[in-house]
């Protein structure tokens, strides 16, 4: 069964850092766009960042300059380095893959939940004051 498994979440103080990992199994991430989403309590799931097959990346304005997405195709892993964390970053973070697309993160559509056909179970990130 194809899987995405997130890890690395936890409790961190405001201003701190965390590195999330997303491990893919039973499919190769190389040809596909991989994204990170997050969902805070009482809010809709929102796109955070996307990594294209060519190594390109795109970010939500709320995390630009603080978060960095990266991928290791050989290890079948995607990462999200989160620095300068704020309380409003508290959420469950999910990785997702778009295995029906072109492998790119289209400017007009990378934020759409429906674009992604494979999802992990999520990892909790809690930022305290």
DSSP annotation of 43 reads: S
Give the pLDDT mean for 98-116.
Answer: 93
Check pLDDT > 90 for residue 113. yes
Check pLDDT > 90 for residue 2. no
For residue range 80-106, list pLDDT tens digits in order.
999 999 999 999 999 999 999 899 999
Check pLDDT > 90 for residue 21. yes
For residue range 39-84, list pLDDT tens digits in order.
999 999 999 999 999 999 999 999 999 999 999 999 999 999 999 9
């Amino acid at each position: 069964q194809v899987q995405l498994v997130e890890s690395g979440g936890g409790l961190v103080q405001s201003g701190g850092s965390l590195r999330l990992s997303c491990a893919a199994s039973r499919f190769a991430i190389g040809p596909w766009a991989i994204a990170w989403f997050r969902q805070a309590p009482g809010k809709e799931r929102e796109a955070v960042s996307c990594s294209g097959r060519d190594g390109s990346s795109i970010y939500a304005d709320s995390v630009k300059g603080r978060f960095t997405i990266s991928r290791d195709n050989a290890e079948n892993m995607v990462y999200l380095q989160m620095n300068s964390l704020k309380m409003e970053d508290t959420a469950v973070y999910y990785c997702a893959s778009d295995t029906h697309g072109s492998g790119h993160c289209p400017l007009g559509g990378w934020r759409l939940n429906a674009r992604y056909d494979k999802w992990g179970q999520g990892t909790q990130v809690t930022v305290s004051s």
